[in-house]
Amino acid sequence: MKKFVIIFLAVLCSGNQYSQEPWTLEACVNRALEMNISIKQSQLEYAGSEIDRKGAIGNFLPNINIGSSHSWNVGLNQNITTGLLENFTTQFSSMNLNLNVNLYNGLQNVKRLHRANLAILASQYQLEDMTENVALRVANSYLQILFSKESLAVQKLQLEITKKELIRVKELVDGGVVPKGDVYEIEANLASQEKNVVDAQNAYFLSKIALAQLILIDDYENFEIANESYDIPIANVLNKTATEIFNYAVGNKKDIKISETNVEIAKKDLELSKSLLQPRLSAFYSYSTRIGYSDRVVPTGEFGSSTIGFVESTNEKVIAPFPIYKSEKPLSFSEQFDLNAGQNFGLSLSIPILNNLSNRTNVDRTKVNILRSINSLEQKKLDLENTVNQSYNDAKGAYKAYVASQKLVKARNSAFDYAQSKFEVGAMNSFDFTQAKQRFELAQSELIRTKYDYIFKLKVLEFYFGVPITVN
């Protein structure tokens, strides 16, 4: 992003002005890069890819979960000490710790991390590409304002010349040098010239609105660009061949790098799909304990006896001893925590055999996506080659058109001076004089158009070649 801004700011910038100050190209580009919604979206995409990378790193860590619960049992419940059903209220607390570690899953975690890194790189290229496009649009809109501004100045100058001509014609009519009908011709030309000024003012205002909207400024009326004039820059890039420019662009343009990265991402997706066909081995461990808050029944160490029957032959009692229990308060929290603790650990192995061919079809699908990405990359290169060749020819053609316009302005200026001298002495009628003047005006307008058309097309070509652009 910084590289592109430096390149394009060197084209037409000479200051850093904001607020009520006239806006330079540097200020316009900075404003666009700060406020443009598409750039903000690309920044969010980049931030999202960073988050995805953190998630890929987190896959290497074990899953650890801690849980707890507290319950009340009211009514008829089984006494866990005696095993008898009793009608009472009990409270219990339980706590557990679960840990799961992925030992092997076809290196999916490694491949996901590699893919996340590629996604970050693609998002970065996307952000830089969006920045380049926005800066290019700002430069084009800025040049359009300069063109409209110079065109308006020419039309105003021609209007003043026409007003002076009308005064002069009236003097010639009063002196009997030219017929009175010439006044009507000049007045009609004056009305046409006034309309041209209005049209030029509208074009200038619309060009300012276009740039103001691009950089998200609502105050169109007070929006002005800096009063700067720009000479035709030296076109060293035109000494290069279109092939040389393309070779540089194909290795440095961000949209090409995005497509190349997408190919690598598609290949990584294929590796991930294949890894789903491999066995998965994981280790697990869990720890749990339980705390009770009810009174407990414990043996006293003493025994009682009870008759459980009689001997049939002698009718003697059969006596059986039984332990005597007593009720005590529950053990302390720490005692129960250790006493009731339990652990569980082991290994888990999963071998995919048949899952409705979903994994196999995913592998085939990612293979197709790789071919699509490769085709998209090749198409991007072809499009870039066509664009570079077109830009190269456009820049050369624009320069030739500018040179031709210079010659035309010079010739039309001479013709107009000659027609003006003849008209002032009555040797040319007003219609022929007006035609000569209009041809001169059209030549001036064409010169301005070809000048800025050449500047912009040259800067685009220099951008593809990575040349730091300067005004001089």
- pLDDT at residue 19, rounded to an integer: 44
339 within some domain: no
- pLDDT at residue 469, rounded to an integer: 45
Neighbours of 18 (CB within 10 A): 11
When mean pLDDT is compared across 95-104, 183-192, 377-386, the lowest value belongs to 183-192
Q: What is the pLDDT of residues 365-378, one digit of tens each?
A: 999 999 999 999 99
State both tokens at 18.
Answer: 């904001």
State both tokens at 104.
Answer: 């092997």
Strand partners, 304: 322
Q: What is the pLDDT of residues 200-259, one digit of tens each?
A: 999 999 999 999 988 888 887 888 888 766 667 677 788 889 999 999 999 988 889 999
Neighbours of 442 (CB within 10 A): 13
How buried is 244 (Cβ within 10 angstroms: 0-12 exposed, 13-18 middle, 19+ buried)? middle
Percent of the chain with pLDDT over 70: 91
Q: For residue 419, what pLDDT band results from cuts at 50, 70 and 90?
A: confident
Which element (helix H / strand E) includes 403?
Answer: helix 358-424
When mean pLDDT is compared across 16-30, 353-367, 376-390, the lowest value belongs to 16-30
Q: For residue 345, what pLDDT band results from cuts at 50, 70 and 90?
A: very high
pTM beyond 0.75: the answer is: no
- pLDDT at residue 305, rounded to an integer: 81
- Confirm if 61 and 80 have CB atoms less than 8 A apart: no
State both tokens at 215.
Answer: 């950089």
Question: Alpha-carbon distance 97 to 285, whole Å?
Answer: 8
The DSSP output letter for 225 is B
What's the length of the chain?
472
Q: Which residues, other chains included, contact 10 with Cβ-Cβ below 8 Å and sequence gap of 6+?
A: 468, 469, 470, 471
Neighbours of 385 (CB within 10 A): 17
446 within some domain: no
For residues 10 and 131, the model is more confident at: 131
- pLDDT at residue 327, rounded to an integer: 75
Q: How many domains does the chain have?
A: 1
375 within some domain: yes
- State mean pLDDT over 317-321: 82
286 within some domain: yes
- Confirm if 12 and 228 have CB atoms less than 8 A apart: yes
Question: Identity (one letter) of the amino acid at 219?
Answer: D
Q: What is the pLDDT of residues 436-451, one digit of tens each?
A: 888 888 888 888 889 8
State both tokens at 382.
Answer: 């072809």
- Confirm if 275 and 109 have CB atoms less than 8 A apart: no
Torsion 468-469-470-472 (CA) sign = positive
471 within some domain: no
- pLDDT at residue 82, rounded to an integer: 57
β-pairing, 76-78 vs 280-292, is unpaired
Question: Alpha-carbon distance 326 to 316, whole Å?
Answer: 31
> Is 70 exceeded by the pLDDT of residue 140?
yes
Inter-axis angle of helices 358-424 and 430-465, nearest 10: 150
- State mean pLDDT over 426-431: 76
- Confirm if 424 and 172 have CB atoms less than 8 A apart: yes
439 within some domain: no
67 within some domain: yes
> Is 50 exceeded by the pLDDT of residue 275?
yes
How buried is 346 (Cβ within 10 angstroms: 0-12 exposed, 13-18 middle, 19+ buried)? exposed
336 within some domain: no
Torsion 178-184-187-192 (CA) sign = negative
Q: What φ, ψ does residue 298 adopt, rounded to 5°? A: -125, 150
Among candidates 144, 159, 131, 162, which has minimal Cα distance to 8?
131
- pLDDT at residue 20, rounded to an integer: 56
> For 148-216, what is the HEC assignment?
HHHHHHHHHHHHHHHHHHHHHHHHHHHCCCCCCHHHHHHHHHHHHHHHHHHHHHHHHHHHHHHHHHHCC
CATH code for the domain of 182: 1.20.1600.10
- Which residue range(s) make up the domain with 89? 2-234+251-294+346-386
Which element (helix H / strand E) includes 251?
Answer: helix 242-252
Among candidates 461, 467, 24, which has minimal Cα distance to 230?
24
- Reduced to 3 states (helix: H, G, I; strand: E, B; else coil), residue 345 is strand
The DSSP output letter for 119 is H
- Reduced to 3 states (helix: H, G, I; strand: E, B; else coil), residue 471 is coil
Question: Alpha-carbon distance 274 to 379, whole Å?
Answer: 28
Q: What φ, ψ does residue 318 adopt, rounded to 5°? A: -100, 115
